[in-house]
Amino acid sequence: MTALRFAPLTLINGLTLKNRVVVPPMASQTADNNGLATEQTLTHYQNLAQSGAGLVMVEYSHVNLAGRSESNQLGAHDDACIAGLSIIASALHHAGATTGLQITHCGGKDSAGISSDVMGPSGITVPAYDRVLPTPRAMTLDDIAQWQQDFVSAAIRADKAGFDLVEIHCAHGYGINQWLSPLTNQRDDQYGGSLENRTRILLEIVRAIKQATPRLAVMTRIPGQDGYPGGLSHTDMGQVAQWLVGAGVEILNVSSGIGGWNRPKDKRGEGFLVDDAAPLKGKTSAAVIGVGGIETVDYIETILATKQVDLVAVGRAILAGPGEFAARVMVTELALS
Ligand SMILES: Cc1cc2nc3c(=O)[nH]c(=O)nc-3n(C[C@H](O)[C@H](O)[C@H](O)COP(=O)(O)O)c2cc1C
């Protein structure tokens, strides 16, 4: 019998992933000062493609210079970015992978102090366990319209560059996470207050991207929960997931929230965020990705067999050695005999 990790998966929009392993977005900080891809960025992704993963995501790319969270971050904020992005997309296709671009605005999570205009839903400092972030200014309705336009323009650039999908970063405490979370969104207009209002900016972005780039599948990197007292819960995210899929999202890439992507202190072993993804599996027509310290064949096969997730993201274990991962995990028993 074929191992489950090699089973192709066809998304709602008809896009087929050749297997169940995903390289999640991981910032390489190899872009130049203007956010343009460099030779080093290209080599980095050619290297990751050697993992044999069916889907290789390209790292978080800012949609506006004010939305940068670190230096040498890749950009999708200007048409000048398209040429470099298209070379990367085409190299990944050439290597046999499906590929997507993650797009982001840091909002108030300007860890490196480089944003020219730190802004967030309510002017509330993003709480973080490991750092003190700047206090953002509260966004106006014009700012909201600008963000929406920036995300859509970035998706159009991903489309022109030849990516198969675009992923909106809504997790790890970055901009859209700040809109979803009651910790950082305490507005009293139509974009704040109830969960429905806090999700509004994101749903409007998803619908506008679907309309502007119908060829692209849309993925959202969402928190399974905020992982912070008083933040988003599993129940909240179950509801948000329903709305997202209703708006056209094909993949829910489930990670963590305001607390950042790191392993929670009380979690041991492989799959430290799979418990946050599993409640969403089968609840909508979208595919669900689980992540967190995953590295072995046994663990990957187990979470697929027990139907906790549809797709398995392997980050650092692939980053450490894509070729070694391919030889250890992506060979069939048939090839070994
Ligand atoms: C170097 C590095 C950069 C990362 N950059 C991003 C990013 O750009 N976007 C994102 O959503 N997550 C990012 N992450 C989080 C990973 O996608 C992933 O969720 C995390 O590493 C946990 O998976 P792992 O234990 O398999 O590495 C990054 C992680 C690492 C190690």
The response to whether residue 295 sits with its C-beta less than 6 Å from ligand 1 reads: no
Residues 6+ apart with CB under 8 A from 5: 19, 20, 21, 297, 300, 301, 304, 312, 329, 330
Res. 128 pLDDT band, cuts 50 70 90 = confident
d(CA 48, CA 114): 28
Q: At what angle do helices 195-212 and 234-247 cross, to 10 degrees?
A: 30
Residue 120 has pLDDT above 50, yes or no: yes
Tens digits of residue pLDDT in 164-200: 999 999 999 999 999 999 999 999 999 999 999 999 9
d(CA 85, CA 301): 33
Cβ of 60 below 6 Å from ligand 1: yes
Confidence of residue 155 (pLDDT cuts 50, 70, 90): very high
Delimit the domains of the chain by residue range: 4-329
> What's the topology of domain 4-329?
TIM Barrel (3.20.20)
User: Ligand 1 pocket, 73 CB below 6 A?
Assistant: no
**169 in contact with ligand 1, CB cutoff 6 A:** yes
CA distance 124 to 110: 13
Please report, for residues 122, 192, 215, the alpha-carbon distance to residue 132 in angstroms, rounded to integers and kept in the order given.
17, 24, 40
Whose C-alpha lies nearest to ligand 1, atom 31?
316
Q: For residue 192, report the distance from its CA to the centre of ligand 1, in Å.
A: 29
CA of 130 relative to ligand 1 center, distance in Å: 16
Summarised one tens digit per residue, pLDDT across range 240-293 is 999 999 999 999 999 999 988 888 888 889 999 999 999 999 999 999 999 999
27 Cβ below 6 A of ligand 1: yes
Residues 6+ apart with CB under 8 A from 91: 42, 45, 46, 49
Q: Is 261 in the pocket of ligand 1 (CB under 6 A)?
A: yes
Among the residue ranges 75-84, 121-130, 183-192, 193-202, the one predicted with the least confidence is 121-130
| Coil vs helix vs strand at 9 | strand
- Is the distance from the beta carbon of residue 174 to the nearest atom of ligand 1 less than 6 Å? no
How far apart are the CA of 257 and the centre of ligand 1, in A? Answer: 13
Tokens of 53: 């993963």
Q: Which of 22, 26, 101 most suits a substitution to test ligand 1, by most atoms within 8 Å of the C-beta?
A: 26
Report which protein residue has its CA nearest ligand 1's atom 22.
292
C-beta neighbour count of 143 within 10 angstroms: 16
**pLDDT band for position 157 (50/70/90)?**
very high
Q: At what angle do helices 39-49 and 322-329 cross, to 10 degrees?
A: 10
